[in-house]
Amino acid sequence: MKIILASQSPRRRELLERMGITDFKVIPARGEEIATRTLTTDQLVEELSRRKCAEVAALRPKDLVIAADTMVFVNNRALGKPHSEEEAARMLAALSGRLHTVYTGVTVSLEGKTITSHEMTSVRFRTLAQADIIRYIATGEPMDKAGAYGIQGYGSVLVESISGDFYNVMGLPVCRLARMLARFGIDTLALAAEKEQRL
């Protein structure tokens, strides 16, 4: 059995490695992220992660597949990845001085057994001047991230407070995922200990 990460996100790869999982293969899901409008926020991210997982699991039925989908919501409006610097500026202006929520759906699948869950984290931005927004966009960091910011990068200076799983905001709730993997017989702390002993 091989562990497959159904995502090309470098942050999710990094977080899996931080959990002690170093022997895994990346096979990104390619399907369109089309969601059912009637779903609640938590149901939405769970459904999207399930679809990604099912797509890759169909290609690798004997392997354990991990898939995730992260979305940012402010005032009940979903903020995906910006398609332009203008859109990134609008997103950051919408987040300025406000509390928003970050939801991640996570699905793990192996040989027909599938577990899906989600995590929610609340994040408050400080009030941003237009100059702050322009300078942050100039770093290039917002352009491939949901909500147009990366909490683990330069975007950290925009975050005033956070309630919940920090890693969820990066795109993978590692504590929840570790508990899910344990149900498939994978002990991430044991893997981490083995990794450190090899060094």
Closest CA to 74 of 134, 123, 119: 123
Tens digits of pLDDT across the chain (199 residues): 899 999 999 999 999 999 999 999 999 998 766 666 688 889 999 999 999 999 999 999 999 999 999 999 998 888 988 999 999 999 999 999 999 999 999 999 999 999 999 999 999 999 999 999 999 999 999 998 989 999 999 999 999 999 999 999 999 999 999 999 999 999 999 999 988 888 7
What number of CA atoms fall less than 13 Å from residue 67's CA on the CB side? 28
Q: What is the pLDDT of residue 195?
A: 82
Q: Where are the domains of the chain?
A: 3-198
Quote the CA–CA distance of 125 and 134 in Å, as a whole number.
16
pTM over 0.85: yes
Tell me which residues are annotated as active site.
69
Q: What is the pLDDT of residue 32?
A: 62
CATH 3.90.950.10 fits 3-198, yes or no: yes
Closest CA to 65 of 22, 16, 11, 108: 108
